[in-house]
């Protein structure tokens, strides 16, 4: 059905009010949003399982009327059991963004940030001028050179730096060997923040730093459970570090009951559904690989390699990203991420998160139709 969902001028002002994309519910209302495929917000389409969702539904009346636990330890133990880490070294937050705010306000004076990147790491600093921006080059496909980055940070006298692996929005992936080698060379840094929110989709064997994190006292890992667990509405994220001094500085400012009862109930389901989670995770990896190859076959776009559950591409000519986003939404009922407001990125980049093979195929067909070069 190809009807315009909202007047163009109304839709535009919502995009200008935040550096993040508006939710579909904001754009079209909750009912209309059910009929639109959301390729913009990044979440695992295969997890939670149907049984987990039924459990949440069945327990909803009691959960919504109950206070969450004021003791974070049980949820930390549930999460630690599937991550195979020490629960005392975990902090669970109301989404990774809550933790990023805590990091920025309690641990950071000045920090090196490669751009383009996830904007919260810059926007939620006490003063945005405290972010020293390491500009990635368009002609090099915005690829981060770890050696050059570390040398640049040292030259500027910085003692804290950020790496997102896989990168957002590029999907650039560093191997576990590359990251561990970098951390050994960066021991003079006081703080190295590594955001691994998409690392579960990098490979069947997850190349996360979690198993060796305790070896690096300056390392702080950040992960968003919205992405790999597919629960953005529950608002769950976590930090892990071998450095309890760093974690305890953050804990001083975490509100009591920061994780709601629905989220705590979901965390309690993780140990018994871990096998199903990894089946879902690996299924999505296969879907992303299919999507990447299908997009590469469209001559009108350049596609970036990815180690995440999304793919970034650049339109070569004709439409801008916002124009393509608008027509996909209004005529094809598909919502994609226009990356024009990412610092350092031009207005021709689109990011799409895999939503399963069938929906991805429909997106590819729509792009083939819209971007087809005139004969």
Q: Write down the pLDDT at residue 282.
A: 97
Crossing angle (nearest 10°) for helices 274-296 and 73-83 = 60
* pLDDT value of residue 10: 41
- Strand segments, DSSP code E, in the chain are 37-38, 90-93, 111-115, 131-135, 160-164, 191-195, 219-224, 237-240, 301-303, 310-315, 334-335, 337-338, 349-353
Closest CA to 170 of 49, 307, 3: 307
Res. 373 pLDDT band, cuts 50 70 90 = low
CA nearest 197: which of 239, 260, 145, 135? 239
The answer to whether residues 198 and 307 touch, using CB atoms and an 8 Å cutoff, is: yes
Task: Give the per-residue pLDDT at 13.
Answer: 56
Residue range 199-230, pLDDT digits in tens: 999 999 999 999 999 999 999 999 999 899 99
pLDDT of residue 207: 98
Query: How far is 272 from 106, CA to CA, in rounded Å?
Result: 35
**Digit-coded pLDDT (tens) for 278-289:** 999 999 999 999
Quickly state the pLDDT bin for 173 (edges 50, 70, 90): very high
Extract the tokens encoding 89: 């070294």
What's the count of helices (H) and strands (E) in the chain, helices before strands? 15, 13
Q: Which residue has the tokens 């306000």?
A: 105
Residue for token digits 């198993």? 211
| pLDDT of 98 strictly over 90 | yes
Distance CA 49, CA 171 (A): 26
Q: Which of 87, 300, 96, 106 is nearest to 210 (CA)?
A: 87
39 pLDDT higher than 60: yes
Give the number of other Cβ atoms within 10 Å of residue 73's Cβ. Answer: 11
Give the pLDDT confidence of 104-158 residue by residue, as tens digits.
999 999 999 999 998 888 888 887 888 999 999 999 999 999 999 999 999 999 9
Sequence-distant (6+) residues with CB within 8 A of 79 are 87, 90, 92, 238, 267, 270
Q: Which long-range contacts (CB under 8 A, 24 or more apart) does 21-27 make?
A: 21/335, 21/337, 21/338, 24/335, 27/329, 27/335
Domains of the chain: 8-49+275-371 (3.90.1150.10), 52-273 (3.40.640.10)
Grade residue 375 by pLDDT with cuts at 50, 70 and 90: very low
pTM above 0.85?
yes
């Amino acid at each position: 059905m190809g009807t315009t969902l909202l007047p163009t001028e109304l839709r535009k002002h919502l995009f200008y009010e935040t550096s993040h994309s508006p939710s579909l519910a904001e754009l079209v209302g909750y009912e209309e949003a059910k009929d639109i495929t959301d390729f913009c917000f990044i979440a695992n389409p295969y997890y939670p399982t149907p049984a987990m969702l039924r459990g949440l539904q069945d327990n909803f009346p009691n959960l919504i009327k109950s206070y969450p636990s004021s003791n974070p330890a049980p949820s930390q133990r549930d999460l630690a059991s599937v991550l195979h880490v020490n629960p005392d070294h975990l902090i669970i937050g109301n989404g990774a963004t809550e933790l990023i705010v805590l990091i920025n306000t309690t641990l950071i004076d000045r920090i090196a940030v490669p751009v383009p990147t996830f904007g919260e790491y810059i926007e939620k600093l006490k003063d945005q001028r405290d972010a020293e921006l390491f500009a990635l080059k368009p002609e090099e496909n915005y690829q981060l050179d770890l050696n050059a980055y570390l040398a640049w940070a040292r030259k500027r006298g910085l003692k804290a730096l950020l790496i997102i692996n896989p990168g957002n929005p590029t999907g650039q992936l560093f191997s576990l060997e590359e990251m561990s080698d970098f951390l050994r060379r960066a021991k003079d840094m006081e703080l190295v923040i590594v955001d691994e929110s998409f690392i579960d989709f990098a490979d069947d064997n997850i190349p996360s730093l979690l198993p060796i994190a305790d070896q690096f006292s300056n390392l702080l890992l950040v992960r968003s459970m919205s992405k790999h667990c597919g629960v953005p509405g529950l608002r769950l994220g976590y930090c892990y570090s071998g450095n309890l001094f760093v974690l305890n500085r953050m804990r001083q400012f975490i509100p009591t009951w920061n994780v709601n009862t629905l989220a705590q109930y979901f965390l309690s389901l993780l140990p018994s559904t871990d096998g199903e989670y990894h089946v879902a995770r690996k299924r999505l990896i296969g879907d992303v690989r299919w999507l990447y190859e299908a997009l590469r076959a469209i001559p009108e776009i350049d596609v970036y390699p990815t180690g995440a559950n999304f793919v970034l591409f650049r339109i070569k000519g004709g439409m801008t990203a916002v124009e393509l986003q608008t027509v996909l939404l209004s005529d094809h009922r598909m919502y994609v991420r226009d990356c024009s407001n990412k610092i350092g990125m031009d207005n021709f980049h689109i990011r799409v998160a895999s939503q399963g093979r069938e929906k991805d195929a429909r997106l590819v067909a729509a792009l083939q139709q819209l971007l087809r070069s005139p004969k």
